[in-house]
A and B are shown apart, each in its own frame.
Chain A
C-alpha cells in the first residue's frame, strides 16, 4: 500500500485476495496524484458491484448510487459544479448492462467526466453469471449451455458514437494503465477507459495469463484522431489491442452547452434566484 493523499489507511476491503481491482485502485490513486487533484475536489461516482465499491477505498467525495446509474448522476454533478473532477467508475455489468442506455447517451452529451470500467467479463458480486462482455461459450451456473450472445464491444460502440476519448487498459500492466488514466482524466470531455481485469474467483477462463496472451499494444503508428482506423482497431478481438484508440479535442462539453456558465463560473450552490425578475415575469401577465 502506498501512502498518498487518497489513501484511507487500514480499512476492511471487500475484494478477494489477488483481485485485479487492487491494481486499478492503486494505479488510479497514483494517476490522480500525478495530475495534482485534491481529494475535496474529486467526486467518485459508482453504481453497484465489486468494482463499484472502489470509491469507498479512496479518500474523496463519494456518490455510490444505484446499479447502472452512475453516469446520469455523474453528468449532473459535473453540470451543477464544473469545478469538480468527476469520475464514474464501475464494472462491466453496471456500465454496459444495467446502465447500457446511459452509456450511449452520456457519450452523446460529452460531459467532462471520466468513465472507468472494470471489465472482467463476469458478474462477481452475484457469484459468477455472464456479463455483457463475457465471451461466447462461457459456461456459468445460469448460462449452463454457455453464453450464446455476441459480447458487447464497448470501444467500438463508443467510437461509433464518437466518444471524445476511448482507451483500453489492462490491470496487469499498471505502468501503461497509469498513463492512460492520466490522459483520460486530463482529457476535456467524456473519456472512456475500459480496463481488462481478471476475476480470480469466478472467471477461470479469462485469467491474468489469458489476458497476457490475448492482448497487444496498439502500434505506435496508430493515429488516434482517425475514427475509422480507431473503429477498425476496436473490432479486433484476438488479440485485444490496448492503448488510446480515439481522441478528439475541441468538441463542446455538456456543461458549456447549458449556457449557465457563459457569464459566471459560480457553481449552482453559490447562486441565488432573482426574485425581482420572477415578480416582473408575473406582473407582466397582468393588464397593468
Chain B
C-alpha cells in the first residue's frame, strides 16, 4: 500500500462502487448485499445514476455495519472506481481516510483530490486475463467478499445463482472471476494491509434485504391490491415490475396502459367493479392523472396512488430524487374533496402505510397517496421479516337491495358502497354532481348536501391520522421537522450531534395532519424544517394548518438525497446562526 501502515475498519464501513452504466455495478451491489447479509452484517445501500443506458458515471454506496443502519452517508471509506471518470465523479467525497482500490492505470496520472490512500488492484486486468473485460464487476464482487472474509463456497454458490438457464454457460468463468477477486483481498488481509472488524449478528438470519419498491409492493399485496394499471416512468416503474412479477402468484391484474390517463381511469373502473386498485407513477405521469383524482373525489371512489417523486418541473432529472411533489398531490384535481397523503421513511413504514392506504381508501372512499421518491425506491435495507397476520383484508362493500342509493346521505358522509352485479340494486356513479341515486342533477340544494357529505369525511379521517413520531426529549427547545424519506437520515444526524434540548418530529402522514400536531409544534422555541425541495412545501403546509412554521429551513434540491454527515454539519451551523423566534 502506498502510504504503509494498516487500514482498520471497526463496526461499520461505507463502500462505494462507481463506473459507467453497463459496467455491472448493480450486479455487484446485489451480490455484495446478499453475501454481506448472509454473513450476518446489516447493510444499507443507495445509488445515484444518470438517465442513460450506457456510459456516464453511476455510483452505489453500500454501508455495512454490525448494528442496524438505515441512512446514507456522504463519506466514503472504501472506493472501487471502474474507470478514471468514476473516480472524478465522486472526488468531493474523498478524504485521507478513504482507501481506493483500483486498477493501476486508474490511479496513475492526474492527482487524486482529497489525498486518499490508493491501493492498486487488478480488477480489469484479471477480467481481461479471463477473456472478457465484462467480468470486472465479478472480480470486484469477489474482492469485497474477501475483505469481509466470506468463504469462497458461499461466494461461488451466490455467483452461480446469478447465472441460471440460458446464462448457465457463463457461471464457471464468473465464479472464477469472483474467486480471483476474493483471493486478492484475502492476500491483502493476510499480509496485514487491511483489517475489517465488523462482526456479523446471528439475528440477521431472520432479516430480509428489501428495497423501497419491494416494500411498497409488499404493502400493496398485504393491502389486498389486485389491480395495477400504470404507464412506465422512473422511478415508479420498479413497483409496477414487482407487481407484474407477483401477478400470477397472487391473482393481480397488471396492465400497462397506453398513457397515465388511461391507467388512472382503469383503476377507478376497477374499484367500481370490486377490485382494490392502484396506480404507480411519478411527477409528470401523475400530472396527467390529476383529472382522475377529481373523478375519484366526485364518484367517492377509493383510489391508491403511489407517487415516486423526482425533480421537476416537466422531465426534470428523471433518475434523481426530490420531495417536490407534495403540493402537486395535495392540490391535485379541481374542486374540493378529502384525501390522505402518506409518506413512508423506512421499508417497514412503506409496507404498513401502503397496506393501510388500501383500507383507508376503501373505508372513506377517497384518494390516498403514498409519497415516496427515487432515493427511497432505489435504496435497500436489512430489516426484520415483516409479519402479515392471517387475516386477509376485506373489501367494504355491501350486497345491494332493490332501493339501493349509492350516495345515500349519512351523518359521517360515508354511504355503503355496492358493486354492480351483487344484489338487487343498481350502482350509479356520475362525474357530474348527482343525487343520492347517483343520477345527474343541477339542484343547488342537492349540490350543497353532496359537497357537505364529501367533506364531512374529514372529521373521521383526521381522527384516524398517523401521529407524528417524536425522537428525543419531550421537553425540547428546538424541534427539527422532517417527513417521508429523509426521516432516518435526520434521526441519525441528530443522534450524532447530541445537541441538548433538540428533538425530531417526523411525519409519516403529511395530510391531513394529526390533531396533536399544533401542540408538538407550539412547544418548541425554535423549529427547523428539513425538506428535499426548494420552497419548503411541508413547512408552508404546517404554517397554513397550524399557524406554526419554521424559520430555519434546511432545503436540498440538487437531485440528491441528504446524507447524515451533511446534516450533522448543517445542524452544527444552526448554533452559529441567530436563535429563531
A residues with CB within 8 A of B: 14, 39-41, 43, 45, 48, 53, 55-56, 59-66, 69, 71-81, 83-84, 101-102, 104-105, 258-260, 267-279, 281-283, 285-288
Contacts and interface: CB of A to CB of B under 8 A. Distances in A.
A59 B426 CA distance: 8
28 contacts: A56-B439, A56-B440, A62-B428, A64-B440, A65-B265, A66-B295, A66-B431, A69-B261, A71-B262, A72-B229, A75-B266, A76-B269, A76-B273, A76-B275, A78-B273, A79-B227, A81-B274, A258-B253, A268-B253, A273-B221, A277-B250, A278-B250, A278-B388, A282-B208, A282-B386, A285-B209, A286-B208, A287-B204
Q: Residue among B38, B208, B397, B431 with the most chain A CB within 10 A?
A: B431
A25 to B, nearest CB: 15
Given A65-B431, A72-B257, 13 more contacts: A40-B426, A62-B427, A66-B295, A73-B268, A76-B273, A81-B420, A260-B251, A269-B274, A269-B419, A278-B222, A281-B249, A285-B208, A288-B206
Nearest to A264: B251
B269 A84 contact: no
B10 interface: no
A19 B341 CA distance: 46
Contacts of B255: 76, 79
Contacts of A59: 426
B251 to A, nearest CB: 6
A20 to B, nearest CB: 20
A243 to B, nearest CB: 30
B287 to A, nearest CB: 15
Contact of A48 (B226, B248, B429, B431): B431
Contacts of A75: 266, 269
A63 B420 CA distance: 10
B3 interface: no
A88 to B, nearest CB: 10
Contacts, number: 202
Contact of B258 (A39, A56, A102, A272): A102
Contacts of A267: 273-274, 421
A268 B227 CA distance: 9
A270 B275 CA distance: 9
Contact of A105 (B262, B424, B428, B430): B262
A71 B369 CA distance: 25
B547 interface: no
Nearest to A259: B248
B226 A64 contact: no
B452 interface: no
B430 A56 contact: yes
A186 B247 CA distance: 30
Nearest to B249: A277
Interface of B: 37-38, 204-210, 218, 221-222, 224, 226-227, 229, 246-251, 253, 255, 257-259, 261-263, 265-270, 272-277, 291-292, 295, 299, 385-393, 395, 397, 419-432, 438-440
Q: Residue among B270, B420, B423 with the most chain A CB within 10 A?
A: B420
Contact of A273 (B227, B392, B429): B392
Contacts of A277: 249-250
Q: Residue among B204, B229, B266 with the most chain A CB within 10 A?
A: B266
Given A59-B426, A282-B218, A287-B204, A66 B291 contact: yes
Contacts of A258: 253
A69 B265 contact: yes
Given A77-B273, A259-B248, A277-B249, A287 B205 contact: yes
Nearest to A109: B255
A39 B426 contact: yes
A260 B350 CA distance: 27
B270 A80 contact: yes
A100 B258 CA distance: 11
Nearest to B397: A269
Nearest to A79: B253
Contacts of A273: 221-222, 224, 226, 250, 392-393
B215 to A, nearest CB: 11
B420 A43 contact: yes
Q: Residue among B393, B421, B425 with the most chain A CB within 10 A?
A: B421
A14 to B, nearest CB: 8
A253 B432 CA distance: 32
Contacts of A71: 262
Nearest to A57: B439
Contact of B421 (A81, A259, A281): A81
A101 B259 contact: yes
Contacts of A65: 265, 268-269, 295, 299, 431
B379 to A, nearest CB: 17
6 tightest CB-CB pairs across the interface, nearest first? A269-B274, A73-B269, A76-B269, A61-B420, A287-B205, A80-B273
A276 B388 CA distance: 8
A40 B423 contact: yes
B227 A76 contact: yes
Contacts of B389: 275
